[in-house]
């Protein structure tokens, strides 16, 4: 594990969006290589799945595309662990609202601590180091459940970047208009942080404000949101419509979506000023063909594979998701950030998932 720890600390010390492709590979591959060996040694499932690939055992892959990957849905079916039960610090469950079977992610203290450190680094690059007054687009009851849902974990994770958090919604998910007016009166003229899950921000906040004929003025606000576009695409709301709605109802023009998953908390892919999702130095993204899983070149749509430098307690550092997307470029986004940038284009239709997974259970 010292190999891993040294390589990870070196990577963590870099600016999150400063390394070009060659430098990033140099800093990231030793981390992935160490993670591969760690999980091979400590997770039976990972060893069983990857040991059939003898090429991999013989040669050190020179880039992320040569590393093995697990289907993300394995975490919905099994509790995969690479640590003894006595070291399990907590179990994270993905929310049941978007998936019938929640994923179970085994966390030890070290992995959990790295998740926080990395999230702080990535978010501070957008929000700044100062803790801003925070408006959470959710109801306070979300944190009252005993099992830590991904929704609650997401809010807890983000609450670190704000101070004096205020909840925009009542327990029945209606707008708490008094609270919103108080928040605006106290902080309306200064930078504030607004956080919520994409669909809730749209349906329970932006649309609800409109329906109630309430307009807020938070011109220096920064809205960070995440959680998938599926429900919004169903309602034909794209990113431009979303941003225009936010601007109209509360005057916020700095809006950043991020892409991330409960199986890889910490390494989030955040949207820049040009609407592109960026891979930080601590993570990588690959797009694979839906027919033969080969690596696709830029601008070709396929399945998103995500790689994270963080997890040692469960074998989820390299995961094939069921999301479709395409890489738009590398090292040359007009925002100035280095690394790959991409867009997410929805989920793989259910029938196709069956074709490329031998462990599916009839759910998309």
For position 274 contacting Zn ion by CB under 5 A, the verdict is: yes
Site map (CB under 5 A) of Zn ion, residues 224-263, x = contact: ----------------------------------------
Whose tokens are 């990957």? That residue is 69
Cβ at position 338, least distance to Zn ion in Å: 10
Q: Side-chain half-sphere of 132: how many Cα atoms within 13 Å?
A: 26
Site map (CB under 5 A) of Zn ion, residues 276-295, x = contact: x-------------------
Part in contact with Zn ion (CB under 5 A); list of ranges 41-49, 150-158, 274-282, 308-316: 274-282
Cβ at position 330, least distance to Zn ion in Å: 11
CA distances (Å), origin 209, targets 140, 177, 199, 216: 19, 9, 14, 8
Q: In this structure, are residues 105 and 91 in contact, taking their beta carbons and an 8 Å threshold?
A: yes
Q: Side-chain half-sphere of 151: how many Cα atoms within 13 Å?
A: 23
Nearer to Zn ion, 148 or 272 (CB): 272
Q: How far apart are alpha carbons 75 and 105 in whole angstroms?
A: 7
Cβ at position 304, least distance to Zn ion in Å: 18
Cβ at position 279, least distance to Zn ion in Å: 11
Q: In this structure, are residues 134 and 193 in contact, taking their beta carbons and an 8 Å threshold?
A: yes
CA distances (Å), origin 52, targets 66, 68, 77, 273, 350: 14, 11, 21, 43, 27
Part in contact with Zn ion (CB under 5 A); list of ranges 112-120, 124-132, 158-166, 330-338: 330-338
Q: How far apart are alpha carbons 104 and 313 in whole angstroms?
A: 12
Nearer to Zn ion, 53 or 124 (CB): 124
Cβ at position 17, least distance to Zn ion in Å: 9
Q: How far apart are alpha carbons 327 and 302 in whole angstroms?
A: 9
For position 143 contacting Zn ion by CB under 5 A, the verdict is: no
Q: Which strand (E) or helix (H) includes residue 158? A: helix 150-159
Within 332-351, which residues bind Zn ion (CB under 5 A)?
Answer: 333, 335, 337
Part in contact with Zn ion (CB under 5 A); list of ranges 2-10, 65-73, 275-283, 307-315: 275-283
Query: How many residues at the interface with Zn ion, by CB under 5 A?
Result: 6
For position 272 contacting Zn ion by CB under 5 A, the verdict is: yes
Nearest C-alpha neighbor of 267 from the set 35, 46, 1:
35
Nearer to Zn ion, 288 or 337 (CB): 337
The DSSP output letter for 55 is: H
Question: Contact positions toward Zn ion, by CB under 5 A?
Answer: 272, 274, 276, 333, 335, 337
């Amino acid at each position: 594990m010292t190999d891993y720890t040294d390589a990870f600390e070196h990577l963590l010390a870099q600016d999150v969006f400063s390394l070009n492709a060659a430098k990033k590979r140099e800093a990231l591959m030793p981390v992935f290589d160490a993670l591969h060996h760690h999980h091979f040694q400590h997770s039976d499932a990972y060893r069983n799945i990857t040991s059939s690939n003898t090429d991999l055992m013989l040669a050190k892959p020179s880039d992320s595309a040569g590393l093995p990957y697990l289907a993300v849905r394995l975490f919905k079916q099994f509790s995969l662990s690479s640590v003894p039960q006595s070291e399990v610090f907590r179990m994270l469950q993905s929310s049941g609202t978007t998936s019938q079977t929640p994923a179970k992610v085994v966390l030890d203290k070290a992995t959990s601590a790295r998740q926080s450190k990395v999230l702080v680094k990535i978010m501070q690059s957008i929000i700044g180091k100062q803790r801003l007054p925070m408006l959470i687009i959710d109801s306070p009851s979300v944190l009252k459940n005993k099992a830590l849902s991904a929704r609650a974990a997401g809010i807890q994770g983000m609450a670190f970047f704000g101070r004096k958090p205020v909840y925009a919604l009542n327990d029945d998910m209606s707008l708490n208009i008094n609270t919103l007016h108080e928040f605006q009166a106290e902080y309306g003229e200064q930078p504030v942080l607004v956080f919520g899950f994409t669909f809730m921000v749209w349906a329970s906040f932006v649309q609800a404000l409109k329906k109630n004929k309430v307009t807020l003025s938070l011109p220096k606000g920064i809205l960070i949101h995440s959680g998938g576009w599926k429900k919004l695409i169903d309602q034909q709301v794209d990113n431009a419509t979303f941003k225009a709605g936010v601007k109209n109802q509360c005057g916020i023009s700095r809006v950043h979506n991020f892409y991330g998953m409960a199986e890889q908390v910490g390494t989030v892919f955040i949207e820049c000023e040009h609407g592109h999702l960026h891979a930080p130095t601590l993570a990588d993204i690959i797009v694979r063909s839906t027919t033969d899983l080969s690596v696709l070149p830029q601008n070709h749509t396929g399945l998103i594979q995500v790689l994270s430098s963080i997890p040692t307690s469960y074998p989820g550092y390299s995961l094939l998701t069921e999301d479709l997307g395409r890489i738009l470029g590398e090292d040359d986004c007009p925002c100035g950030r280095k690394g790959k940038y991409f867009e997410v284009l929805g989920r793989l239709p259910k029938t196709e998932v069956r074709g490329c997974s031998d462990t599916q259970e009839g759910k998309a």
